[in-house]
Amino acid sequence: MRTFSFACCALCLAFTARAAQKPLEIFFVDVEGGQATLFVTPAGQSLLIDTGWPGNAYRDADRIVKAAKLAKIKKIDDVLITHYHDDHVGGVPQLVSKIPVGTFIDHGPNREDSKRSVRLYEDYQKAIAGANHLTPKPGDHLPVKGMEAVVVSADGNLIDQPLPGAGQPNNACADVEQKATDPTENARSLGTVITFGKLRIIDLGDLTWDKELELVCPNNKIGHADIFVVSHHGLDQSNSPALVHGIQPRVAIMDNAANKGGSPSAWDIVKSSPGLEDLWQLHFADAGGKEHNARDPFIANVTEADTGFYLRLTANSDGSFEVYNARNKFSKQYGAR
C-alpha cells in the first residue's frame, strides 16, 4: 500500500510538472480590421476579446471557430466585448450560433446615441439573453483560470491606483499633444492587463488618446508590457507616445486591415518605442506604403484578397514566447528576460 501511495504521488507530481510547462496560446484572428483575440490558458480555459464584424456570411465566426479547433477547445468560456462598435461586438450573434459561450463580459450599457451603435447593442442583448454576464469595473480581476487579467479601463473610468510594480513617473508624457475628448464608445473600451507568469500583455481595445493620457500621465499606472495589442487597429486617434513609449513593449501586434488602421503617424510612434524588438501586423496597410509597414515575414496578409491568415503567440511562464505567421510559416522566438 505504501509503495502504491508513493507511486501515485510521483505520478501526480509528474502530471503537475507537465501542466506547469504548458504554454499560453493566443490567436490573433484576422477579422479584416476588427478584433478577435483568443486566449487559451494551460488550464484549458479560453477568453475571446471581441468577435469581429456582423454579416459577411459568418466569415468572422468561422475564423474564430477555426482558431478554437486549432487550440483544441470546443467552447469559449468567456467572451469580452471591449465596446459596442461593428468590428468588435457585431459578430456575437453569428458566433453563438457556431460555438457555445460560457460568460459574456462587457462595460455595461451602450453610451453612444448613434443609430448604428444602438442597433448593435440591441442585437448583442438579444444574442446573450439568458447567458452568464459580468460587468467588471476598473481594478476587478476576471475569473480566467491559468492567467491573471485585471481591468484597467471600463465605461470611461480608469483604475485609481497603479497596478503592482507600476506607478513610476512617465517621462514619455513630456510635450505630448492633447486631443479632444472622444464622445464615442471607443473611449469607454474595456481594457485589460493580462499576466502569465513573468509575461505581461496590454490590450486596451479602442481606448482613445485622451483616456490614454489619464491612464499613464504623469505616472504610468499600468507599467511595462512584453506584448502590446496596438490600440484601435493602429489608428492615430489612439496610440499616444505617452502610452506606447511609456509601456515600452518588446513586441507589438496590430489588428489592422488593408484599408483600415495602420496610420503612418501611429505606426511611427509604435515603431520608435524604446526597446521594441518587432511589430507584427495582420495586414499590409495600404496607406503606409513600404516605409510604414513591417517587413514581409511579420505580416499575416499581404494583399487585399480575403485570405484570413492569423498570427499565433505561444508564451511560457518564464516570459519567453514565440510568434508564428500562418501565411508563410515564419516564426520568431523571444527569450525570457
Residue 9 has pLDDT above 60, yes or no: no
Using the 8-state DSSP alphabet, how is residue 205 labeled? T
Candidate CATH numbers 3.40.50.1000, 2.130.10.10, 3.40.50.720, 3.60.15.10; the one for domain 24-334: 3.60.15.10
- H or E element in which residue 117 lies: helix 115-128
Q: What are the residue ranges spanned by the domains of the chain?
A: 24-334
Q: What is the pLDDT of residues 97-149, one digit of tens each?
A: 999 999 999 999 999 999 999 999 999 999 999 999 999 999 999 999 999 99
Mean pLDDT of 197-210: 98
Average the pLDDT over 42-52 and give the result. 97
For 204-262, the pLDDT digits (tens) are 999 999 999 999 999 999 999 999 999 999 999 999 999 999 999 999 999 999 999 99
If DSSP codes are grouped into helix, strand and coil, which group holds residue 226? coil
Per-residue pLDDT at 72 exceeds 50: yes
Q: pTM higher than 0.85, yes or no? A: yes
Positive or negative torsion for Cα 213, 165, 249, 201? negative
